[in-house]
Amino acid sequence: MGREIHGNPHLSHSHPAFLPLLPLHRCSRSHHPPVSRQRPLLTSSHSLEPPSLNTATPHSTHGTVRPFRLDPVPRHVGLIMDGNGRWGQLHCGARTDGHQRGVEALRQVVHASVQWGIADLTVFAFSTENWCRPASEVAFLMRLVTSALRAEMPAIHDSGIRLRFIGELEALPPPMQACLAEAERSTCQHTNLNLNVALNYGGRREIAAVARAIAHDVEAGQLCADDVDESLFAAYLRRAHKAAHNDPELIIRTGGEQRLSNFMLWHAAYSELYVTDVLWPDFTAADFAEALREYARRQRRFGGVHSRPS
């Protein structure tokens, strides 16, 4: 998968695509049919914890988000950006228009993530299964990624965002691979936000690739089979794509479908899931803030039991 990792040719460095941060040219939501608001996959009656100093006011092009204190703020958020094609067909008659509009939604969420102090944002831009879509749509997405990434590099540098690409990038056109590699190289010192973009990515393939790498090292005598446990497997995963060292505490899916769709299957074992009916192109900083609020209300027990205060 992707680039070779030094010292182990069987463990590759994945990469994916950045659906970038373009200037906003939004139509008013009032021009579109109303969309049902969030539908959390899991809900909790637990009230918001006492406020911390984590206060921010993410900007929204549809009005400001009132400041509120949030505790905890997730370190790592995953995004399944679903609904672009449906939005394009509904409002413009073409799926590709939805992808173009979706770039603007990503811009808002990335900006808000920097403001909230989120360390890692991993976005699912293109799956290994998306090659089954019409060839014209796939070609449009490839062009969109490359052109938008080039246009947005100055803003990315100004915002201190580090780009990392995960997925099987060797299947992409060589010029596109070079563009992604240069973007990754030129932002490697930035620390405000790690933006991990998954392109030609599949969670099952990722797990299978790591299993092959471990099997090779056991066969070569570099590992003992008894040493293979969850921690070692996770370490191989980190080496494979050099992305976030922590699993996502929160995974947000837009578009209403309640499934992971092969996204970060290993990493999502204890992620909080939040599903909204809002199609991705209509997703705003205010919607993102609501997902963070819901996350703060959850009790994360990891199989244990929280004792009630006396």
The answer to whether position 194 is within a domain reads yes
Task: Give the pLDDT of residue 5.
Answer: 32
The answer to whether position 13 is within a domain reads yes
- Helix, strand, coil percentages, rounded to 5, for the chain: 40, 15, 40
Domain with 194, as residue range(s), is 3-23+34-53+92-99+124-245+262-275
Task: Give the pLDDT of residue 166.
Answer: 92
Q: Is-catalytic flag, 130?
A: yes
The answer to whether position 165 is within a domain reads yes
Catalytic residue among 8, 84, 97, 130: 130
The answer to whether position 292 is within a domain reads no
Q: Is-catalytic flag, 97?
A: no
CB 180 within 8 A of CB 18: yes
Catalytic residue among 8, 54, 71, 82: 82
- Per DSSP, helices labelled H in the chain are 84-91, 95-116, 135-158, 174-186, 203-219, 230-241, 285-297
The answer to whether position 159 is within a domain reads yes
The answer to whether position 211 is within a domain reads yes
The answer to whether position 105 is within a domain reads no
The answer to whether position 113 is within a domain reads no
- Total tally of structural domains belonging to the chain: 1
* Tens place of pLDDT per residue across the chain (310 aa): 343 333 333 333 333 333 333 333 334 343 444 333 333 333 332 223 323 334 555 544 444 566 567 788 999 999 999 988 797 888 888 887 778 888 999 999 999 999 999 999 999 998 888 888 889 889 988 999 998 898 888 999 999 999 999 999 999 989 899 999 999 999 999 999 999 999 999 999 999 999 999 999 999 999 999 999 999 999 998 887 666 678 999 999 999 999 999 999 999 999 999 999 999 999 999 999 999 999 999 987 766 666 555 4
Q: Domain containing 219 — which CATH number?
A: 3.40.1180.10
- Cα–Cα distance list, 149 to 25, 56, 117, 135 (Å): 17, 27, 23, 21
